[in-house]
């Protein structure tokens, strides 16, 4: 027999095992490291996120020359982000990946998917009006994600610093972070669903800016749910006269943090002293926490409001926090611990959006392109959130982090075999999460379309 000539060089430096040499080459054929991507494909098909976003963008291309529709490009980008490929340059290699082709309803032997320049042109295509339409479409999708109209919803509003390293539009120097960047406003509901994300300079939002943003958001939600009761939760950045007056005018309930002032502190001086004395009787005891409520307000407020003070005495001293609310009932302790403190979960949602899905990848020079990227990363968040929501409620998988979910269910080795009548996927027999993948696919019809 003639000698076989290997055209692909083997990897150097691999030590032998049990006296046998290890020969490794990148010549396995149609293989992929994203074998679980088809589960996300099913999620996206049911949610229709790519189609919703594409419908908001005018396509100036000649129809007879179009090879990739806007929805196809957006879907490819969403799957890339959800799979952990946040850089558009990764498209140049992933466009040949058989699993990404299958996720785009193409056979493995079909032509390659769109390239990085095509994705970059799309990111720079939407103008302000298209972005506003996409913002309303994302709110409409949020409302459609419920099986029935809820009686009340809670919206957590937060902002996060996004460092930039170029000459991007809207960038601003932030003295606290000692860097240039953005500070987008992000909104999640109480269950972790993303609602909105707005790109803005790296500075504290003013009362007028926050009110204008909330007005658009509330009106968009009430276009779908006119009678829903909305509760807003936020830190002291949003506790401004304009926002408080807006909440009262629109019939919104609110729980806002309040920065301590001498006016507020005079109400709790005696409580702080008595709390420290109470803990002094048992120095080894844990922290002592006490509450007090009163009505007061800043000079710029149009009226006094209900203020709740939380005083905590511990080994490191006294820590006092204030919140303001228009809730009529409920004790001070329950409103603070069971209602306001749940706002901290929103920080975990922002972390997942920013770290696990790399939503801070705002490196485009134009502000409109970076705003579009925020929406793409938010839509990718929806894919993973929806996949996680298929898990049993009492299962730890229901609260698993997105990066762990991606590692366990999406990053699977897969051999793709394209036959005449079917496509075979051979996944690892040793995968420890086979039952979880089966369960997710079986429950896929439960997703709200």
241 in Cβ contact with 207 (< 8 Å): yes
Q: Is residue 337 part of a domain?
A: yes
The Cα 149–Cα 164 span in angstroms is: 40
The Cα 24–Cα 253 span in angstroms is: 63
Q: Is residue 191 part of a domain?
A: yes
Q: Which of 363, 395, 429 is the last residue of a domain?
A: 363
- CATH assignment at residue 339: 3.90.350
Q: Is residue 25 part of a domain?
A: no
> Does 439 share its domain with 408?
yes
Model confidence over 26-63: pLDDT tens digits? 878 888 999 999 999 999 999 999 999 999 999 998 88
> Does 213 share its domain with 293?
yes
What pLDDT does 449 receive?
Answer: 64
221 in Cβ contact with 141 (< 8 Å): no
Check residue 164 and give left, alpha or beta (phi > 0: left; psi -120 to 50: alpha).
beta
> Does 119 share its domain with 136?
no
> Does 93 share its domain with 104?
yes
> Does 222 share its domain with 314?
yes
């390659």: which residue's tokens? 112
Model confidence over 189-215: pLDDT tens digits? 999 999 999 999 999 999 999 999 999
pLDDT range class, residue 12, cuts 50, 70, 90: confident
The Cα 267–Cα 272 span in angstroms is: 10
255 in Cβ contact with 335 (< 8 Å): yes
> Does 359 share its domain with 391?
no
The Cα 198–Cα 213 span in angstroms is: 9
What pLDDT does 6 receive?
Answer: 59
312 in Cβ contact with 319 (< 8 Å): yes
SS3 334: helix
> Does 147 share its domain with 57?
no
Concatenating the DSSP letter of every residue in 258-274 gives E---HHHHTTTHHHHHH
The Cα 49–Cα 40 span in angstroms is: 12
> Does 168 share its domain with 121?
no
Q: Is residue 196 part of a domain?
A: yes
291 in Cβ contact with 270 (< 8 Å): no
pTM (2 d.p.): 0.93
Average pLDDT over residues 16-24: 88
Q: Which residues make Cβ contacts (< 8 Å) with residue 275, sequence separation at least 6?
A: 288, 290, 311, 312, 313, 318
Model confidence over 89-115: pLDDT tens digits? 999 999 999 999 999 999 999 999 999
Closest by CA position to 371, among listed 159, 209, 182, 218: 182
Q: Is residue 371 part of a domain?
A: no
Q: Cα 222 to chain center, whole Å?
A: 22
Supply the mean pLDDT for the chain.
Answer: 92
Q: Which of 308, 338, 363 is the last residue of a domain?
A: 363
The Cα 356–Cα 81 span in angstroms is: 9
Please give the tally of structural domains in the chain.
Answer: 2
Distances (CA, A) of 115 to 32, 67, 88, 90, 120: 18, 11, 9, 9, 9
Domain span at residue 405? 31-125+377-446
Q: Which of 363, 395, 430 is the last residue of a domain?
A: 363
The Cα 52–Cα 50 span in angstroms is: 5
Cα torsion 48, 51, 57, 63 to 10°: value is 170
Indicate if the pLDDT at residue 2 is higher than 80: no
210 in Cβ contact with 243 (< 8 Å): yes
92 in Cβ contact with 116 (< 8 Å): yes
Q: Is the four-CA dihedral 448, 139, 192, 46 of positive or negative sign?
A: positive
Check residue 231 and give left, alpha or beta (phi > 0: left; psi -120 to 50: alpha).
beta
Q: What letter would DSSP give residue 329? A: S
391 in Cβ contact with 439 (< 8 Å): yes
6 in Cβ contact with 25 (< 8 Å): yes
**Burial class, 290, CB count within 10 angstroms (exposed 0-12 / middle 13-18 / buried 19+):** middle
> Alpha helix (H) ranges present in 257-401?
262-265, 269-280, 332-334, 344-351, 367-389
Model confidence over 329-344: pLDDT tens digits? 899 999 999 999 999 8
> Does 107 share its domain with 146?
no
Q: Is residue 57 part of a domain?
A: yes
Cα torsion 312, 313, 319, 325 to 10°: value is 20
Average pLDDT over residues 71-82: 97
> Does 323 share its domain with 243?
yes
Count Cα neighbours of 179 within 13 Å in the Cβ-side half-sphere: 10
Q: Is residue 422 part of a domain?
A: yes
Q: Is residue 1 part of a domain?
A: no
> Does 391 share its domain with 349?
no
> Does 358 share its domain with 441?
no
The Cα 93–Cα 301 span in angstroms is: 57
User: DSSP strand E in 90-226: where?
Assistant: 152-159, 162-163, 172-174, 179-182, 185-189, 194-198
Model confidence over 239-275: pLDDT tens digits? 999 999 999 999 999 999 999 988 899 999 999 889 8
Closest by CA position to 134, among listed 375, 310, 347, 306: 375
């Amino acid at each position: 027999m003639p000698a076989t000539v290997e055209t692909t060089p083997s990897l150097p430096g691999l030590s032998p095992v049990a006296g046998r040499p290890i020969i490794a080459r990148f010549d396995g054929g149609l293989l992929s490291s994203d074998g679980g991507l088809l589960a996300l494909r099913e999620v996206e098909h049911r949610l229709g996120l790519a189609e919703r976003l594409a419908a908001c963008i005018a396509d100036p291309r000649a129809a007879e020359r179009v090879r990739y529709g806007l929805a196809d490009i957006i879907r490819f980008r969403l799957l890339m982000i959800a799979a952990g490929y946040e850089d558009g340059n990764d498209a140049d290699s992933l466009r040949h990946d058989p699993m990404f082709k299958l996720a785009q309803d193409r056979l493995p032997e079909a032509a390659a998917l769109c390239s990085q320049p095509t994705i970059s042109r799309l990111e720079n295509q939407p103008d302000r009006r298209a972005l506003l339409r996409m913002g309303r479409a994302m709110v409409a999708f949020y409302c459609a994600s419920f099986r029935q109209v809820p009686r009340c919803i809670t919206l957590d509003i937060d902002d996060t610093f996004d460092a930039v390293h170029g000459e991007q539009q809207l960038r601003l120097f932030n003295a606290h972070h000692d860097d240039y960047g953005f500070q987008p406003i992000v909104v999640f509901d109480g269950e972790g669903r993303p609602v909105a994300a707005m790109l803005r300079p790296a500075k504290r939002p003013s009362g007028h800016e926050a009110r204008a943003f909330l007005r658009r958001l509330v009106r968009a939600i009430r276009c779908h749910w006119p009678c829903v009761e909305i509760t807003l939760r936020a830190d002291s950045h949003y506790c401004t006269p304009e926002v408080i007056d807006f909440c009262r005018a629109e019939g919104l309930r609110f729980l806002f943090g309040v920065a301590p002032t001498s006016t507020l502190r005079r109400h709790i001086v005696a409580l702080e002293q008595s709390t420290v004395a109470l803990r002094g009787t048992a120095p080894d005891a844990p922290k002592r926490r006490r509450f007090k409520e009163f009505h007061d307000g800043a000079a710029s407020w149009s009226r006094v409001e209900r203020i709740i003070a939380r005083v905590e005495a511990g080994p490191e001293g006294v820590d006092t926090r204030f919140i303001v609310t228009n809730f009529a009932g409920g004790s001070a302790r329950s409103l603070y611990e069971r209602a306001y403190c749940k706002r901290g979960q929103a920080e975990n949602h922002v972390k997942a959006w920013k770290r696990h899905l790399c939503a801070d990848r705002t490196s485009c020079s134009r502000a409109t392109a970076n705003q579009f990227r925020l929406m793409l990363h938010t839509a990718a968040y929806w894919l993973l959130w929806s996949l996680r929501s298929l898990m049993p409620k009492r299962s730890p998988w229901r609260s698993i982090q997105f990066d762990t979910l991606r590692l366990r269910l999406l990053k699977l080795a897969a051999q793709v075999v394209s036959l005449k009548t079917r496509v075979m996927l051979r996944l690892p027999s040793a995968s420890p999460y086979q039952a979880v993948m089966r369960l997710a696919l079986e429950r896929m019809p439960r997703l709200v379309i």
